[in-house]
Chains A and B, each alone.
Chain A
Amino acid sequence: MSSAAAARPLVDSRREAQLSALKSGALSLLVLIVLCSLWEAYKWFGERVELTRPFPVNDRTMPHIHDMVGQLFEPSRRNGPLLIDVLLDAAAFTAKEAAAGFLLGAVVGFAIAVVLSESRLLQRGFLPYIVASQTIPILAIAPMVVVWVNPKLPEPLEGWGAVSVIAAYLTFFPVTINTLRGLQSADPRALELMRSYAASRWRILWKLRIPASFPYLFTALKIAAPASVVGAIIGELPSSIQGGLAGAILNFNQYYITSPESLWATNIIAAGLGILFFAVVAIAERLLVRRAPEHVA
């Protein structure tokens, strides 16, 4: 073991990482193609044998994929802008609300977890209510949040701040629960080690418990990121915000009979926004969390 001379190169080279990213991208694309093919195959089959169960298959119940995508590049109304431009504007608006809500929920959720992890008493007292908070349907509390929050908002948040609070309400819960688990996941001997250094509680939290919780935190953030998009869309409904994806969904719901492709196209954009949120968190995790490769999902 004359190791001093022969430090081996770092195992995970950048090239290897790029290659594996390329591979998983190709794989996702393949799955997308397979899913679209299945959709079209079922549609073809259902129309041919005139399936009536579970639902009759026709262009209204199952529009062609290419029609949904094609709809994006049609004018949204006569002489209006293209549908995709309308939807991307709406998505950007919703993304702003969701991002603010996600950040608020992540910070609050993390803070709650830290406080609860430091006090068994608080944890036992408060955890049931934190769980209970998630059993209340978001639609039931959204109007109250709008009434409470909106009047007090400063200029830049006016109109949509309440929506972010609603998105945060969906975000904080997985963050709190997972981070709490992560903060308690530190190896007992690692804790003994810290005690052997006469480390204060604060130091143990900062140097050991919080870094040890990061894998759990990021798992939670990956759940919370798309959930914040859903939260923002739902939050827009009672706030009567027209500029976001909820407005588009409500609008195209009414015209489903005549133009089902528009609602499907809207769903594609909404799903894309959720995936984008997830991807941002996944990339942040790659950059921030250093751990053994076998733990990496």
Chain B
Amino acid sequence: MTQAAAVSITGLSKRFERGDVLALDRIDLDVQPGEFVSLIGPSGCGKSTLLRIIGDLIRPTDGDVLVNGKSAHQARLDRDYGIVFQDAVLYDWRTVAKNIALPLEMAGWGRRRRESRVQEMLDLVELSGFQKHHPWQLSGGMQQRVSIARALSFSPPLLLMDEPFGALDEMTRERMNNELLRIWQETLSTVVFVTHSIAESVFLSTRVAVMSARPGRIAGIVAIDLPQPRGPDTREHPHFAELITQVRRLLRKGHALDAPEEDETPLYVAEEGL
């Protein structure tokens, strides 16, 4: 391997002192540059915790995390990733433009450079004309696009997303999924994406890491070999339903690592997440 993995996790465990809960148990996961990897699992499986450990917002109890070949701590100090939460977490007292510029101010960009980058980002998330609005004047979907623009404004090589569309209605969510894929392709970034929607994970990802709960483990990884670039037609691709079933089986079995064998059994696609 000539290029360092975007994320490299080996033997990672996390035990929360309070309640003595083993949240994550010996996680191994590599994410290559340019990949779009989803973490999916039942609530309480530690997927958000894993994301925060990658971002050095939580310290692991055991194991190693490398981001772009550096320690997660160093990567955070180098501002190697942008993060998007379930809620947009915008600052009420700042306009849309000022919200997007926040990380640029932190990185010490000059005003001119900030303004032109903010304009680019507004174009990217299709919010030109809204720069002077305040967050509360926008719909939930628009707020989340501001939050994505903010995370991408300083061109981090890695984008961490924690159920970013979980609070949106299904139609907005699908539209945001399409936009996210377009942005991913335009910016050539690496994405680690936490979700609890099976359809969303299959539609977006190059690989889906399925997690089991208590303790959180990686139950299996499903490679999503649907053709790129993806769009509304992808959901109707014959292979789409099959992949959803694979992820679903892994989720149900929790620990099973031999899921591909089950491709032979009759397919069914439940309504959940579709």
Asked if B76 lies at the interface with its beta carbon under 8 angstroms from chain A, I say yes
Asked if B253 lies at the interface with its beta carbon under 8 angstroms from chain A, I say no
Asked if B89 lies at the interface with its beta carbon under 8 angstroms from chain A, I say yes
> A1 vs B134: C-alpha distance in the bound complex, in angstroms?
18
A192 in contact with B106 (CB, 8 Å): no
B87 in contact with A189 (CB, 8 Å): yes
**Interface residue tally for chain A (C-beta within 8 Å):** 31
B137's partner among A3, A11, A189 (CB-CB below 8 A) is A11
Asked if B81 lies at the interface with its beta carbon under 8 angstroms from chain A, I say yes
Residues in chain B near residue A257, CB distance under 8 A? none
CB-contacts of A1-37 with B (<8 A): 1-7, 10-11
A195 in contact with B92 (CB, 8 Å): no
Write the A151-179 contact mask toward B (1 if CB under 8 angstroms, else 0): 00000000000000000000000000000
Asked if A131 lies at the interface with its beta carbon under 8 angstroms from chain B, I say no
Asked if B102 lies at the interface with its beta carbon under 8 angstroms from chain A, I say yes
Residues in chain B near residue A3, CB distance under 8 A? 126-127, 129-130, 142
CB-contacts of A197-233 with B (<8 A): 197-199, 203, 207-208, 211, 214
B106 in contact with A289 (CB, 8 Å): no
B103 in contact with A211 (CB, 8 Å): no
B137 in contact with A10 (CB, 8 Å): yes
Count: A-B pairs, CB below 8 Å: 81
Residue of A nearest to B106 (CB): A197
**Interface residue tally for chain B (C-beta within 8 Å):** 36
CB-contacts of B105-159 with A (<8 A): 105-107, 123, 126-130, 132-137, 141-142
> A199 vs B77: C-alpha distance in the bound complex, in angstroms?
9
Residues in chain B near residue A1, CB distance under 8 A? 126, 141-142, 175
Using known A-B contacts A11-B137, A208-B91, A290-B134, determine if residue A196 contacts B126 with beta carbons closer than 8 Å. Answer: no
Residues in chain B near residue A10, CB distance under 8 A? 132-133, 137
Asked if A292 lies at the interface with its beta carbon under 8 angstroms from chain B, I say yes
Write the B67-87 contact mask toward A (1 if CB under 8 angstroms, else 0): 000000000111101110101
Asked if A187 lies at the interface with its beta carbon under 8 angstroms from chain B, I say yes
Using known A-B contacts A2-B126, A4-B126, A196-B57, determine if residue A292 contacts B79 with beta carbons closer than 8 Å. Answer: no
Residues in chain A near residue B55, CB distance under 8 A? 192, 196
Asked if A293 lies at the interface with its beta carbon under 8 angstroms from chain B, I say yes
- Known: A7-B129, A198-B79, A292-B134; 14 extra A-B contacts, CB below 8 A, are A1-B126, A1-B175, A3-B129, A187-B89, A190-B91, A192-B57, A192-B83, A192-B85, A197-B107, A198-B77, A203-B106, A290-B134, A291-B93, A292-B136
15 A-B pairs in the complex with CB atoms less than 8 angstroms apart: A4-B123, A4-B128, A6-B129, A7-B128, A7-B129, A189-B89, A193-B83, A196-B76, A197-B102, A198-B78, A203-B106, A207-B105, A211-B93, A291-B136, A292-B135
